Structure 1
């Protein structure tokens, strides 16, 4: 997988489509640097972290442990053709408001969610530090 990737809302990253199995992801990215298993109460979610790539992937039990959520922190990853990681909150919101993806909802002081497209931006120090998006 190349570092330069683009987010396709509802579909995944260019090289990692939602619905991919753990074996398929491993064939593209190799072994993760770290794996976590999270008990969500009604199901188990497995997270794979690729720290050098700035990507974390989640596989949920309810989806037969297929890829359901991607979190990216890599500044090379684009959303609608722009590098959003590192953008100021106001700039990111103004840009995304032009993309016709539904209204933004403030998720605490650190997050900005676009629920219509399963997209959340997380901010640290006023700049976008992570983009989280899920299968719709």
Structure 2
């Protein structure tokens, strides 16, 4: 990545907020290297991949195709001031469990989720490979 990026749970990535339009995203990152259209059964999702930045962005039909999920694989991205990509599973979970974001729970054999903050960690070979998060749902 060309500049340091930090994850803002529930809000977005550095200067890229959830709810941004595709035009707003392309003004920040340029055109994506790859675009996928995904049929989720009851709706469509469009994923923009910026492989050189280690970022994928998702725009769901139910959200009027505004930015609703971010996935990062770049080791330069920080969360709570720490670079997490590449950490062993127990190191990453221990660090995040101490950040007052709710309890972690296994999602799959490859993943851990923090449901309270819509944060998902995906591991490959026991090391954190990808961080995924979305806007935090609030009950009104």
TM-score tier, shorter chain, comes to over 0.9
Residue matched to 1:130: 130
Distance 1:37 1:129 in 2: 23
- Over the aligned positions, Cα root-mean-square deviation in angstroms equals 1.0
Distance 2:84 2:51 in 1: 19
Distance 1:82 1:50 in 2: 22
What does 1:1-136 align with in structure 2 at a 5 Å threshold?
Answer: 2-136=2-136
Distance 2:13 2:126 in 1: 25
* Unaligned stretches of 5+ residues in structure 2: none
How much does 1:42 deviate? Answer: 1.1
In the TM superposition, what whole-angstrom CA distance separates every residue of 1:14-63 from its partner, at most 9, and x where no partner exists?
A: 02110000000000111100000111111110000000000000001111
**Under a length normalisation based on structure 1, what TM-score does the superposition of the two structures give?**
0.97
How much does 1:3 deviate? Answer: 3.5
How much does 1:2 deviate? Answer: 3.9
Does the 8 A contact of 1:3 with 1:77 survive in 2?
Answer: no
Aligned residue pairs: how many? 136
4+ long deviations beyond 3 Å: none
**Under a length normalisation based on structure 2, what TM-score does the superposition of the two structures give?**
0.95
* Unaligned stretches of 5+ residues in structure 1: none
Does the 8 A contact of 1:3 with 1:53 survive in 2?
Answer: no
